Every structure is written in C-alpha cells, then in structure tokens.
C-alpha cells in the first residue's frame, strides 16, 4: 500500500509538472531585472506555456490550467483579475482546434505559427484592455511584448522540451 | 459486459464533449465575471489578491536578490571606468553645494525664527517604513510594483511611496507582509501637484508612458521646460512639497514631466505615513513643541 501511494504521488507530481513549471516561470518573470524600459515589454510566459503544452501535452494542460496560469499572472503582475485568464483561455481553445496542423511540423513552422498567435494575442490584449479601461490606449507596448515573446519562444521551448523528456516520458 | 461497456462509452463520448464544452464556457464566464467584479468590488478583489501575494512574497524576495546583486556589480564596473571624470564633476558640485549649504543654514535660522513667531506645529510626525521592491512592473497596460512590507509594518492603503529622488507612487492594496504600489506613471494615477516656479496647480496624470502628463492646468499657463513639479497637498493624501518631476516636454496643450524617480532602478522604497502631518494642521498649536 505505501508503495502504491508513492507511485500515485509520483504520478501526480509528474502530471502536475507542466502547470507547476508554468507557475514558477511566471513568478520568475515578475522579479525585478532592473533593465531600463524592460518591464512593460517583458515576454508573456503564460502565452508560451499555454501554446507549448497545448500543442504537445494537452492532456496535462487542460483549459483549467490555462485559466489558472492566466489568473496567476493577473495576481502577480497587477493586471485586472481575469484579463490574462480570459486571454489564455482563448489561446488554449485556438491551439487545441489547430492541433492537427501543429502535429509533426518542424520547429521553424511551429515558431512561425506561434509568431502569428503572439501577434493576435497582442492585438486581443490591447482590445480587451481598452474595453476594460474604457479609453484609447497606445498599442506599442503590447506590440513590443509580442516581439519579445516570440524571441523568447525557442529558449522556453527548449526548457519545456527538456522537462518533458526528463519527467514526462512515461506519463 | 463488453456490449454494456461499449454502449456506455458511446453514450459517454458526446456527454464528455458536452461537459468539456460547458466547462470551457464556465471558465470564460468566470474570467469575465472576475473582471467585472474587479471593477465593482475593488476592495474585495484587492484583498484576495494581497492574500495570495503574501504567500508568494518570500519567494519573490529571494528571487529578486540575485538580480539586484548582478545589477550592483554591473554598476560598480561602470563607475570604475568613469572614476576620474566623476571625481572632477563632484569637486565642482561640492563647491556649489557648499554655497547652497550656507544659504540653507541662513534660511533655516530665519525659518525657525518665523515659526517661533507664528507658533507653527512642526511637520515631524512622519512615519517611514523601508521596503524592498520584489516585483518589476511587467504588465503591458499597468505600472505597479510589489513591496515586501505590509499591514504588519504599518503600511496602509493610500500612503505615499517615495525614494531619495522623489515621489514614486502610492499604496494601492495591502496584505499582511506585502503591498502593491501604484506608480505615478500608471494609467489610473492622479496626483495633485503644483508648479514650483509659477505656483500654478495641476494634476500629474499617468498614461502608462514614462512621462506623465500635466492636466487641469489653465490654457494661459506660464509653464516652461525645466520647471519643477511638486505635490500640492490638495486632497489630503500627500503633504505639499514632495518632488515629483521636471517639465520635459511642451507640445501645444500637452505638457509632460520627467519623474525624478528612475523606475527601472527601484530597489528599496520608503512608505511614508503623513497622516500625522495632515492631522497636525487641525490640532491646537503648541509653542513648546520645538523646531526640528
């Protein structure tokens, strides 16, 4: 029985890896780096996590996970509660509906597709923010954040892929 | 048995799809609901948010230290290369400052005499709490930071957040051991201010850019580039005279200021409780209280 319990716990921990890793990366992304003008355009970690796990392990990263990561970002970053959650839910839905396209494609193609997703996300974030604050906003920071996110994608993908290889091979 | 399992599966498949779809819809509605609730019940939502941040604050505190250390080393290297020119500049500045010191001494003495003369209660009831900044302002459309001090340390909503350079913002929400500070560059920040030279009143209104706007200032104003902008003390949140920034851009009706605080270098801030000062104005004067 203890062995069974250990096995169960081990499996649970492995299953929760994508979510835990995303949570930790979001915390890290909010810590001060003190680079001039970096803060507002810091890459959107939640978006990369949702896309990666949505494409490769949707069974371990359901819509609830996307919602949770988004809410976590809202809490830590100070954006209106629910805004990133809504955004990541939409992205998650889109990624899952386009999964057949992503399947078996080379990294370059997936990256290119991600660039399109990140651009749409930036536009969506800008629109939702304007609706929320009820005034016109300058879209430049959102655009720059999109570019930074696309630039960070290969690196984070590498981290996620290593994790997936190390922890989730048998799960 | 086999047949039954098959039929259950056949029945279950659409049912599962339906529950999945309704779960997704539920999450979407929850997200929108939270946003609306956040607008209507700001206090409740901020309370919940602060509670969660309190739990993560120690982790963020630890994580923020290496970044600060690396930053300090880089700064050190840069300063080493500029040592000679820096020294020369400081010599020059020292001479100027000595003159200012002389002037300040005279003014201070004069001020003391006049205060005695009018029985003014001194503004010495300010409580300071120093705190480390543990999160960057990383929201695309929000400018706020988390600090590692909360209700336990006497921090309450609305207090001024300052650095050695000037006003950085005000406390937006407070947890037990952490708090969120809204920077003066945020879209929702409005600070009653006054132009030091012309004594004209204005509001420093953040718009998420690095340079907040000066609004509610008359069309025939006499604002010039380089004018200092300080808090006016109106509204009772801040005492008058806290440095905010200098006028850095005038294009038509749009006046912008460059804040004194360098927001990308925030490492420690002071949370200042000026309620004593503001209350002091309503208290009877006490001639024996002394001059600071």
Mean pLDDT value across residues B138-166:
88
Number of H helices and number of E strands within chain A? 8, 0
Which B residues 155-194 touch A at CB under 8 Å? 180, 187
Contacts of B53 in chain A (CB under 8 A): 75-76
Contacts of B33 in chain A (CB under 8 A): 82
Distance from CA of A3 to the nearest CA of B (A): 30
The partner residue sitting opposite B60, judged by closest CB among A30, A79, A142, is: A30
Contacts of A50 in chain B (CB under 8 A): none
- H/E/C letters for each residue in B136-174? CCCCCCCCEEEECCCHHHCCCCCCEEECCCCEEEEEEEE
Given a cut of 90, whether residue B18 has pLDDT beyond it is no
pTM for this prediction: 0.76
Give the chain A residue nearest B20 (alpha carbons): A63
Q: Tell me what pLDDT residue B134 has.
A: 87
CB-based contact B144:B172 (threshold 8 Å): yes
Give the chain B residue nearest A72 (alpha carbons): B52
Of all residues in chain B, the percent with pLDDT exceeding 70 is 86
Q: What is the pLDDT of residues B170-206, one digit of tens each?
A: 998 898 889 999 999 998 899 999 998 888 899 999 9
Given a cut of 80, whether residue B237 has pLDDT beyond it is no
The partner residue sitting opposite A137, judged by closest CB among B67, B133, B141, is: B141
Q: Residues near B54 by Cβ (< 8 Å), separated by ≥ 6? A: B150, B175, B176, B177, B178
Optimal mutation site among A20, A29, A39, A63, interface B, most CBs of chain B within 10 A = A39
Chain B touched by A75 (CB under 8 Å): yes
CB-based contact B138:A130 (threshold 8 Å): no
Contacts of B72 in chain A (CB under 8 A): none
A85:B24 CB<8 A: no
A32:B35 CB<8 A: no
Distance from CA of A131 to the nearest CA of B (A): 11
Q: Are strands B228-231 and B190-195 parallel, antiparallel or unpaired?
A: antiparallel
As a whole number of angstroms, the distance between CA B29 and CA B35 comes to 10
Chain B touched by A139 (CB under 8 Å): no
What is the pLDDT confidence band of residue A2, given thresholds at 50, 70 and 90?
low
Contacts of A96 in chain B (CB under 8 A): none
Given a cut of 90, whether residue A115 has pLDDT beyond it is yes
Helix (H, G, I), strand (E, B) or coil at B205: strand
Contacts of A29 in chain B (CB under 8 A): 138
As a whole number of angstroms, the distance between CA A27 and CA B50 comes to 15
Matching residue, tokens 């100027």: B96
Chain B touched by A123 (CB under 8 Å): no
Give the chain B residue nearest A89 (alpha carbons): B28
Range with the lowest mean pLDDT among B72-86, B143-157, B162-176?
B72-86
Give the chain B residue nearest A35 (alpha carbons): B264
What is the pLDDT confidence band of residue B121, given thresholds at 50, 70 and 90?
low
Chain A touched by B143 (CB under 8 Å): yes
Distance from CA of A43 to the nearest CA of B (A): 9
As a whole number of angstroms, the distance between CA B279 and CA B281 comes to 5
Mean pLDDT value across residues B103-118:
83
Q: What is the pLDDT of residues A125-165, one digit of tens each?
A: 999 989 888 888 888 888 988 999 999 999 999 999 999 99
Q: Tell me what pLDDT residue B287 has.
A: 41
Which A residues 10-49 touch B at CB under 8 Å? 27-42
Contacts of A80 in chain B (CB under 8 A): 35, 38-39
Alpha helices of chain B — where are they, by DSSP H? 2-40, 42-81, 83-118, 275-280
CB-based contact A52:A17 (threshold 8 Å): no
Q: Does B235 or A134 have the greater pLDDT score? A: A134
Range with the lowest mean pLDDT among A69-83, B62-76, B230-244?
B62-76
Q: Tell me what pLDDT residue A66 has.
A: 94
């Amino acid at each position: 029985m203890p062995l069974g319990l250990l096995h169960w716990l081990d499996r649970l921990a492995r299953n929760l890896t994508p979510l835990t890793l995303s949570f930790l990366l979001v915390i890290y992304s909010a810590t001060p780096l003190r680079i001039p003008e970096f803060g507002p355009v810091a890459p959107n970690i939640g978006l990369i996590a949702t896309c990666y796990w949505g494409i490769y392990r949707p069974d371990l990263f359901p819509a609830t996970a996307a919602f949770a990561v988004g809410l976590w970002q809202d809490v830590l970053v100070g954006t209106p509660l629910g805004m990133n959650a809504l955004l990541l839910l939409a992205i998650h839905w889109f990624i899952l509906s386009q999964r057949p396209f992503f399947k078996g494609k080379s990294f370059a193609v997936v990256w290119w597709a991600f660039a399109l997703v990140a651009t749409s996300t930036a536009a969506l974030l800008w629109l939702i923010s304007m609706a929320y604050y009820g005034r016109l906003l300058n879209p430049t920071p959102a655009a720059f954040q999109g570019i930074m996110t696309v630039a960070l994608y290969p690196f984070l993908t590498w981290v996620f892929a290593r994790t997936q290889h190390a922890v989730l091979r048998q799960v | 048995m086999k047949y039954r399992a098959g039929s259950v599966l056949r029945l279950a498949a659409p049912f599962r799809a339906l529950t999945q779809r309704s779960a997704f819809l539920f999450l979407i509605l929850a997200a929108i609901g939270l946003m609306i609730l956040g607008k209507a019940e700001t206090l409740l939502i901020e309370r919940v948010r602060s509670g969660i941040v309190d739990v993560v604050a120690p982790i963020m505190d630890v994580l923020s230290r290496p970044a600060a250390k690396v930053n300090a080393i880089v700064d050190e290297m840069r300063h080493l290369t500029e040592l000679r020119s820096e020294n020369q500049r400081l010599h020059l500045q020292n001479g100027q400052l000595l003159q200012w010191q002389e002037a300040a001494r005279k003014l201070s003495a004069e001020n003391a005499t006049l205060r005695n003369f009018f029985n003014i209660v001194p503004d010495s009831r300010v409580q300071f709490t120093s705190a480390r900044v543990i999160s960057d302002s990383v929201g695309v459309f929000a400018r706020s930071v988390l600090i590692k001090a909360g209700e336990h340390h006497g921090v309450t909503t609305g207090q001024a957040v300052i650095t050695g350079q000037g006003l950085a913002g005000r406390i937006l929400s407070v947890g037990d051991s952490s708090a969120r500070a809204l920077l003066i560059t945020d879209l929702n920040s409005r600070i009653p201010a006054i132009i030091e030279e012309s004594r004209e009143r204005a509001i420093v209104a953040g718009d998420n850019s690095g340079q907040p706007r000066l609004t509610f200032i008359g069309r025939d104003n006499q604002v010039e580039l380089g004018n200092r902008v300080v808090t006016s003390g109106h509204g009772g949140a801040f005492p008058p005279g806290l440095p905010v920034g200098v006028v850095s851009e005038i294009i038509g009706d749009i006046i912008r200021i460059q804040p004194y605080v360098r927001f990308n270098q925030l490492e420690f801030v002071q949370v200042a409780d000026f309620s004593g000062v503001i209350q002091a104005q309503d208290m009877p004067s006490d001639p024996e209280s002394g001059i600071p």
